[in-house]
Amino acid sequence: MPFPDGFLFGAATSSHQVEGSLDVDGRGESVWDAFARLPGAIEGGGDASVACDSYRLWRDDVALIEELGLQAYRYSIGWSRVLPDGRGRVETRALDHYERFTDALLDIGVTPMITLNHWDMPQALMSHEGWVGRESVGAFAEYAEAVADRLADRVEWWVTQNEPWIIALLGYHLGLHAPGVADLGKSVRAAHHVLLGHGVAADVLHRHPGAKAGCALSLFPCDPASDAAEDVAAARGSDGYVNRWFLDPLLAKGYPEDMWEHYERALGEPLDFIRAGDADAIAGRSDWLGINYYTRRVMAHAEVTPQRPFPWRVVGPRGDVPRTDESWEVVPSSLTGLLLRLHEDYPDTPMFITENGGIYGDSPTHDGRVHDVRRTDLLRDHVLAVEAAVDAGADVRGYLHWSLMDNFEWAMGYRPRMGLTYVDYRTGERIVKDSGRSYAELIRNHAH
């Protein structure tokens, strides 16, 4: 496969999903700790108190990364570990832990990629409604400074925010994720403050020579259900809602006017919390773009109702199509198209696939191995989709599969399995799946 020299193959996780050990080294409570206590919030009633036990078993994770031959590993710092009270006191024991882990990766030749916010905001910051309050931006700057001062001398690639749209949609609009707020107006404010948080964190990182700041966006290509003009308009509107509302301000185009109008109409008030100078505080700070890609959205026109604030709805693809166990369509060609669209719309922006994967429930069979043929196929086909985009000129620097191992999948609990490695949650045992073995072979072939 003709990937460019220096292209990185790796995998990704996040702290809250794998670490466990929620009560050690002075860690403070996160919004997910509080959310998990709400009846019915987490499928199966679980929480992340054990997860994969990676905070304690971090050396095993490093050995696993080395066994798979990964060239890069994306992981997140526990925000609630570093600033237990949200602001002020910095917990050095947490930073010591992440420094040991980072150095261990570097010792085996793995490129670290650190995410600052992978959704585990300190619960203390809910005193001003979390990301709804502008105070969160200053708190995030404090946190970024504490982490960067410790690690930016040896880490090049940084993700400031993971999936701002999902934070806003599931955390503040639908209430399905922490902190469980269900208010469209608050979700728009939260999304804006998350982007401002990217800006201040990038400014902190850029004080350290060599540090490259990016934001990882959950991007969904939006295709019309038909050639009808109203469905085409619905797909364009959905693209503004999911993609352009975040891409444009990050990459120096400002908020898109069509989506601004949709929001003001739906809210019945101006977006006056977006202040003069905010656009400049977000734009021009992204050294690269992270892309979390899982599937596409097939859109049709729909009438606006009290329950549907925008004139579109997801209808899904027609016919029998490949799907994951969560019924998400598997469509690698949409990833190629997305990368080429980004290359055209936002030229000179290096890109990473910071997440890609699927939910498949395969478990060990009689021989003790996990024969996850569908994940193996998904991984191969999406790597080929990236290769096609690179061959056509897209500046993609790496592919990071989600996830290194099965883990706590947020509100879905422990049912979904997305790992290259199977985790027995009763014992903590890790079993590399066939997909992991196949990926290791792909990486070896690429390296030679």
Q: Which two tokens stand for residue 149?
A: 């001062």
Backbone angles phi, psi at 56, to 5 degrees: -85, -35
**Topology (CATH level 3) of domain 8-447:** TIM Barrel (3.20.20)
Q: SS3 breakdown of the chain: % helix, strand, coil, rounded to 5?
A: 40, 15, 40
Domain ranges of the chain: 8-447
Active site residue 441: no
DSSP 355-366: E----------T
Could you report the per-residue pLDDT of 392-417, keeping only the tens digit for each? 999 999 999 999 999 999 999 999 99
220-270 pLDDT, tens digit per residue, is 999 999 999 999 999 999 999 999 999 999 999 999 999 999 999 999 999
Q: Which amino acid is present at 8? A: L
Split at pLDDT 50, 70, 90, the class of 194 is very high
d(CA 352, CA 80) in angstroms, rounded, equals: 27
Annotated active-site residue in 19, 91, 145, 163: 163
Beta pairing class for 312-314 and 297-301 = antiparallel
What is the mean predicted confidence (pLDDT) over 155-159?
99
Q: How far apart are alpha carbons 410 and 418 in whole angstroms? A: 12
Q: What is the pLDDT of residue 446?
A: 84
Q: Residue 44: left (phi > 0), alpha (psi -120 to 50), or beta?
A: left
What average pLDDT does this structure show over 107-132? Answer: 98
Q: What is the pLDDT of residue 1?
A: 56
- E strand or H helix at 217, and its extent? strand 212-218
Nearest by Cα to 116 from 136, 100, 133, 89: 136
Residues comprising the chain, all counted = 448
Q: Say what the pLDDT of residue 346 is.
A: 97
pLDDT higher than 90, residue 192: yes
CA distance 282 to 378: 35
Structure tokens at 327: 């019924």
Q: What are the CB-based long-range contacts (under 8 Å, 24+) for 316-319?
A: 318/225
Asked if pLDDT for residue 366 goes beyond 70, the answer is yes
Give, to the nearest 10 degrees, the angle between helix 373-391 and helix 332-345: 30
Q: Is 56 helix (H, G, I), strand (E, B) or coil?
A: coil
The answer to whether 435 and 418 have CB atoms below 8 angstroms apart is: no
Structure-token pair, residue 228? 């009808």
Round to whole Å and give the CA distance between 58 and 63. Answer: 9
Q: Of 117, 205, 212, whose CA–CA distance to 168 is shortest?
A: 117
Q: What is the maximum alpha-carbon separation in the chain?
A: 63
* Span 263-322, pLDDT tens digits: 999 999 999 999 999 999 999 999 999 999 999 999 999 999 999 999 999 999 988 999
Parallel, antiparallel, or unpaired for β 222-224 and 312-314?
unpaired
**Per-residue CA distances from 353 to 28, 214, 247, 408, 432 (Å):** 31, 12, 15, 21, 22
Residue 332's closest CA among 288, 373, 387, 289? Answer: 387
Quote the pLDDT of residue 126.
Answer: 98
Model confidence at 47: pLDDT above 90: yes
99 flagged as catalytic: no
Provide CB contacts within 8 A for 38, sequence distance 6+: 180
Averaged pLDDT, 82-107: 98
Residue type, 11: A
pLDDT higher than threshold 80 for residue 27:
yes
pLDDT over 90 (residue 375): yes
Kindly report the average pLDDT of the chain as a whole number.
Answer: 97
Q: Is the pLDDT of residue 448 over 70?
A: no
pTM: 0.98
Residue of 355, 387, 409, 441 with catalytic role:
355
Q: How many CA atoms lie within 13 A of 60 on its CB side?
A: 16
